[in-house]
Chain A
């Protein structure tokens, strides 16, 4: 059983065979893959191809599943629940509801005007970019199952807690007035045939690849740079476990950055390979995906500065705590 799982983990998800193939190709072209140039080239080619393959397969599968969970439906279901139960459900729905940052405001308005508490909406908004089925598989392919599952679990906990805190400290009044005054109209979710769902999934793949292609290239490029050109001791001095500020630094650097999880992974992978603590790496990934300057600016249109500050503060604090906790307990995962 263990052998089958390891094979699945390393060869199917991790595509280690691809690394070997690319390595052999590079050798036959006269590159020294243990050298700096050849090594970074191998990392770059392997990671770009691997991530693009995973991206296409994953987005297709996920979009197909997601076509069953339009936000209109999520909104209706969430309306039946209250309290922490509602927050938990919102966080879980965040992982399967299709979401892009350009839709975050209409979605926010839709949820709020339907009478959902602001905390429930935020549970959804935190979990949606942070945790999805794609990131789970991708993390499994690179860091292994334990870390991937742990990432998803703490991500969900952060979403539930964050939303609950926002609720409990009475942030409801800091939603912009036009949001509250927007009437609640139900637009019927279109009924889809299996063919429609396949078409939707194919369209999502095309749109996502177009959107994130350059992020992946840049991400892998930075990853390759870290992998072979930046001295290990320099990286460890800044982000290593001996620097007490490593997690803090990784989070603060990650927050304004805007990238998809697919673009973030190669950087995380290279840092991890250099010996940076798993908590520091996860903090960086969470900060990049959960918070970004464009999404914060977008959200400002729907909520007042007080609530926006609380939101960023809670999520950032949560990410930092998660990072230090993972670093402290990383012997459990490796």
Chain B
């Protein structure tokens, strides 16, 4: 199962976040397996109310914003 998840309804913002996250993972040399969760029940299970959201190891790192590549790198390093 992928460690990194992008939560979103498949809107353009969500795809953008997925793209930026992918670039960040590549730069960090991490596993680039990203799961894009579009099921609302699952999204809600994370307590997220504003999509897109970024989840790493089942922890919500960010929600409601399209993060830039550098911001994803910063959050993943924490």
Binding site for B on A (CB under 8 A): 70-72, 75, 98, 100, 102-103, 105-107, 109-111, 113, 178-179, 182-187, 190, 200, 203, 207, 211, 298, 301-302
Contact = CB atoms under 8 A, between A and B. Distances in A.
A71 B51 contact: no
A75 B47 contact: no
B62 A184 contact: no
B65 interface: yes
B47 A70 contact: no
Nearest to A178: B41
B40 A71 contact: no
Interface size class of B (residues with CB under 8 A): 20 to 34
A70 B41 contact: no
A298 B64 CA distance: 18
Contacts of B11: 100, 102
B47 A187 contact: yes
A184 B47 CA distance: 6
Contacts of A182: 41, 44-45
Interface string B36-62: 000011011111111100000000101
A187 B60 contact: yes
A109 B40 contact: yes
Given A105-B40, A182-B41, A207-B13, A110 B64 contact: no
Contacts of B62: 190
B49 A107 contact: yes
10 contacts: A71-B49, A103-B9, A105-B9, A106-B49, A107-B49, A110-B48, A178-B41, A182-B41, A203-B66, A298-B9
B43 to A, nearest CB: 5
A301 B44 CA distance: 13
Contacts of B46: 185, 187
A301 B13 CA distance: 20
B49 A102 contact: no
B69 interface: no
Contacts of B9: 102-103, 105-106, 298
* Best-surrounded residue of B11, B48, B50, B63 (most CB of chain A within 10 A): B50
Contacts of A103: 9, 49-51, 64
Contacts of B44: 106, 109-110, 113, 179, 182
Question: Mostly helix, strand, loop or mixed at chain A's interface?
Answer: helix
Given A105-B9, A106-B50, A301 B65 contact: no
Contacts of B63: 187
Given A182-B44, A187-B47, 5 more contacts: A98-B50, A103-B49, A106-B50, A110-B44, A179-B44
B64 A70 contact: yes
Contacts of B49: 71-72, 75, 103, 106-107, 109-111, 187
Given A102-B9, A106-B40, A186 B64 contact: no
A74 B49 CA distance: 11
* Best-surrounded residue of A70, A102, A113, A298 (most CB of chain B within 10 A): A102
Given A207-B13, A301-B40, A302-B40, A106 B65 contact: no
A72 B44 CA distance: 13
Contacts of A301: 40
Given A200-B65, A203-B65, A70 B50 contact: yes
Contacts of A113: 44
A186 B60 CA distance: 11
Nearest to B11: A102
Contacts of A102: 8-9, 11, 13-14, 51
Contacts of B64: 70, 98, 103
A102 B47 CA distance: 16
* Best-surrounded residue of A106, A110, A183, A187 (most CB of chain B within 10 A): A106
A110 B66 contact: no
Contact of A106 (B13, B43, B66): B43
